[in-house]
Structures are given as C-alpha cells and as structure tokens.
Amino acid sequence: MKVLLIIIFFINTAIAKDLIIFDIEHKQFLSKEELLDDQSNTDIFILGEIHYHKCIQKAEAEFINWVSSRRKKEFTVGMEFINYDKQAETDYWSEEYLTGAISLRTYTQKLIGNRDQDLRYAPILRETILNGGQILGTNSPRDIKSILIQQGYEYIPNEYKTSDFIQGSTKYFQRFKSAMEGHANEEQIQKYFLAQVYTDNYIAEKLIQKRKHPLSIQIIGSFHSDYLDGLIKQLDARGEGEVTSIKFIDKKKMYEYMISHPEFGKVSHYLIGCD
C-alpha cells in the first residue's frame, strides 16, 4: 500500500517545478523544512551528482542556499572538480569574485574550466561565496592518478599520499567492475578501481583536514557515494560522526532508487529530484 501511495504522489509531483525530496529509509516525501529539521545536527553532507546535468547543479546550489540560510553559520563546500594543490589560487579567485573584481562567469572559468558545460557549476560557486562559504578543492591531480594506475600507489609523491589508505569494499568493486565491463580488461579494472578508491581516500582526508568550518558540503560524482559506500565509508572510517548522503537525480529517474537495492541497500539517505 505504501508503495502505491508513493507512486501516486510521484505521478502528481513529477510535473511540478519544485525540487522533490524523498527519505529512502522512511519511504516518504519531505518538504524542505522537514529535511532541514531532520538534519539539523549533521555537519557533513555528501551531494552525489551526475556531472554537467541540465538541472542537478542548480538543485545543488539551491540546497546550499537552504542549509546556509537555516544554519546561519560559515561553511565549506568541497569540490571534486578542483584540486587541493591549487587551493591558494582557489582562495585568490574566490576573494576576487567576492569583492566584485571579476564576474561569476570568469570566476567559474578560473576554477572549473572554459567549456560551456563548466558554467553549469556557476550557481554552486555563487551560492557558496555569497552566503559566506569557502570553496575547497579536494581532489588529487590527474597526472598523479596516472602514475598510480601505471606504477602503483607507492610511486606517487609523498605529498599526494594519504595518512591512511583504506581499501574499497568487495561490493564497491563488484559495482565498479560491472560498470567497467566491456571498457577494460580485468587487469585494467583492478588498476582503475585503485584510482577510484584513492580518490575517495584523498577527498575524505582533505575535506576533514583542510576545511575551515565544521559544516561541510562535498560535491562529488554519485558513484563515489552511491549505496553509502566509497567516500561515505572513508569518512565513517575516519570517525567523522554523522554524514548524510543525498543523491541528486532527474525526477524521471527518481523512482528506480526509491526502493533499497536487494544486494547493495539504499542508494543514499535522501533523493532530491529536479527537472
């Protein structure tokens, strides 16, 4: 009966322009206020996204605005698309944007890139800076990951290694292998998975160690956080307490994630659908 009610509600709300929020654990839709009330003590939010999507980055920016308006405190937004070793540049351009010295377009180009699709991240940068937040690059450079894939973890420079390196779970590898089948052989898949897990380790450590403020929001590709694995488990293993995972998704694909997977469990704590 509850599933039927979910379907009816979903049909009635899918055509609405507002964001749809769904609590997977309790199988119920929530208002913005109910979500913020439920998560009033959470300090780390992980926003799992599809990159360069027509509505997802705008939805994430709206969520940042919700949290900053409710909490009324300084916060950090970690960005997968920005490398930590460029943090001095990130801070410089953030200050330039905040003071009006450069436009939002230029700011986005400096931090994310010059392609048209990179501008989809402009709303996230705007809502962070104009609401008193910090933009923190949390990723490791691609050339470091290339060394990792080709030669192994022990060959990357020490400054790019993590204090702890926690292996990925069997189920995480199972999902990764399934996604990569047809694109790489077994040996390549093992190496690519090492890079995937390294990224989770690195981002978790940088977010914890380098954020200026306890209240933190990390933007990341959803495979890294789906099924409360990957980055979520890395943060849990480092004793970060309450971590809330939210998967942002197109409303039309939302229903397939409302029910927990029989093997992997729920995909996140909440879904937020947009169109």
Give every CB contact of residue 180 below 8 A, 6+ residues apart in sequence.
188, 189, 192
Sign, Cα dihedral of 22, 206, 103, 51: negative
User: Which tokens is 82 given?
Assistant: 């920005």
pLDDT digit string, tens, across residues 131-181: 999 999 999 999 999 999 999 999 999 999 999 999 999 999 999 999 999
pLDDT higher than 90, residue 8:
no
- Domain positions in the chain: 2-274
- Full-prediction pTM beyond 0.85? yes
pLDDT at 4: 43
pLDDT band at 241 (very low <50, low <70, confident <90, very high): confident
Phi and psi torsions of 159, nearest 5°: -70, -15
pLDDT band at 16 (very low <50, low <70, confident <90, very high): low
pLDDT at 5: 45
pLDDT at 126: 98
- DSSP code of 104? H
**Number of other CB atoms surrounding residue 227 within 10 Å:** 23
pLDDT digit string, tens, across residues 90-143: 999 999 999 999 999 999 999 999 999 999 999 999 999 999 999 999 999 999
Residue 47: its H or E element = strand 44-49
pLDDT at 242: 86
Question: Does residue 221 contact residue 260 with C-beta atoms inside 8 Å?
Answer: no
Longest dimension (CA), the chain: 57
Residue 250: its H or E element = strand 243-250
- DSSP code of 33? H
The class (CATH top level) of 2-274 is alpha beta
**Region 55-83 average pLDDT:** 97
pLDDT higher than 60, residue 211:
yes
User: Which tokens is 159 given?
Assistant: 């400054």
